[in-house]
């Protein structure tokens, strides 16, 4: 059985003047240890889908389950990591930021929470700034703290919304490599959103392609891991995905 089952999910925003359909009848399943990527152009509803899986928004149509539980609201079984660098609490140190959800969820005692937090801070290579405050850190370091904080909760699934999109190209590449290294150590499950085809191929073992607004499923690319890492085959897959994403559209992008 799949870990996450999203079935026929339509998500709408109702504003005072209009109803915006962000995604329409989107279905996919994520298995344990998948690095499942939602890929599509800006505005196709990726963040909205992630918000719904996080439990912050209810579908107008369809249903979502994690394990065999219907998703009805936020829970410690799903941890979200955002693109923005300001997701940390500015008045708390790195250690206190990573400990915070562990304490709030009453998952562990203070002593155990600190030990758990220190272990994950070490995993992301930030032990030397464990007592520093967010404003003294670079963007890449802040994102590593956010990842450590999410992972320390040991959720069933990590939800990552373009976590590296605001980083410079070199830092982004390093952060992608580190995420893959962490994955190879613990094989956590991640649902990763990006608008970058190259990033989707680097991160994912499965990639769901979404059409432009409103987001519908165009195709699913499986077994991405089997594609060699040499630039030739990654480049070919990139072209294939590009053609699938924009198939049937009047104008080239």
Ligand X SMILES: Nc1ncnc2c1ncn2[C@@H]1O[C@H](COP(=O)(O)OP(=O)(O)O)[C@@H](O)[C@H]1O
User: Interface with ligand X by CB under 6 A: which residues?
Assistant: 13, 15, 20, 22, 40, 42-48, 213
Q: Alpha carbon of 124 to those of 174, 175, 210: distances in Å?
A: 11, 9, 31
**Dist CA 199 CA 201 (whole Å):** 5
Closest separation between CB of residue 193 and ligand X, Å?
7
Which residues are paired to 65 by β-bridges? 5, 70
Nearer to ligand X, 22 or 121 (CB): 22
Closest separation between CB of residue 154 and Mg ion, Å?
26
Nearer to ligand X, 94 or 159 (CB): 159
Q: Which pair of structure tokens corresponds to residue 116? A: 């758990």
Pairing of strands 78-81, 69-70: unpaired
Q: Give the footprint of Mg ion on residues 85-104 (CB under 5 A).
A: none
> In terms of DSSP H, where are the helices of the chain?
46-54, 94-104, 110-123, 139-152, 169-186, 197-203, 231-246
Residue 54 interacts with, from Mg ion, ligand X, none (CB under 5-8 Å by kind): none
Nearer to Mg ion, 47 or 174 (CB): 47
Closest separation between CB of residue 45 and ligand X, Å?
4
Residue 22 interacts with, from Mg ion, ligand X, none (CB under 5-8 Å by kind): ligand X
Q: Give the footprint of Mg ion on residues 28-67 (CB under 5 A).
A: 47
Nearer to ligand X, 40 or 140 (CB): 40
SS3 141: helix
Evaluate whether 82 touches 146 at the Cβ level (below 8 Å): yes
Nearer to ligand X, 48 or 97 (CB): 48
**Residues at the contact surface with Mg ion, assessed by CB under 5 A:** 47
């Amino acid at each position: 059985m799949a870990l996450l089952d999203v079935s026929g999910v339509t998500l709408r925003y109702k504003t005072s003047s209009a109803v915006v359909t962000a995604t329409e009848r989107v279905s996919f399943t994520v298995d344990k240890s998948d690095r499942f990527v939602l890929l599509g152009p800006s505005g196709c509803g990726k963040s909205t889908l992630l918000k719904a899986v996080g439990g912050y928004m209810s579908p107008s149509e369809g249903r979502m389950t994690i394990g065999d539980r219907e998703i009805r609201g936020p829970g410690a079984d799903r941890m979200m990591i955002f693109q923005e660098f300001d997701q940390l609490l500015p008045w708390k140190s790195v250690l206190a930021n990573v400990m915070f959800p562990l304490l709030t969820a009453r998952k562990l005692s203070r002593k155990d929470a600190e030990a758990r937090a220190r272990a994950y801070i070490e995993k992301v290579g930030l032990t030397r700034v464990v007592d520093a405050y967010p404003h003294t850190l670079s963007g890449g370091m802040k994102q590593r703290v956010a990842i450590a904080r999410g992972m320390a909760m040991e959720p069933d699934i990590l939800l990552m919304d373009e976590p590296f999109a605001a980083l410079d190209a070199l830092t982004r590449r390093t952060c992608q490599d580190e995420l893959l290294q962490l994955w190879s150590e613990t094989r956590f499950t991640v649902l990763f959103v990006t608008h970058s085809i190259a990033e989707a191929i680097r991160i994912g073992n499965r990639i769901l392609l979404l059409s432009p607004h409103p987001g519908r499923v165009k195709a699913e690319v499986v077994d991405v891991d089997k594609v060699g890492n040499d630039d030739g085959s990654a480049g070919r897959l990139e072209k294939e995905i590009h053609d699938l994403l924009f198939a049937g559209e009047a104008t080239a992008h």
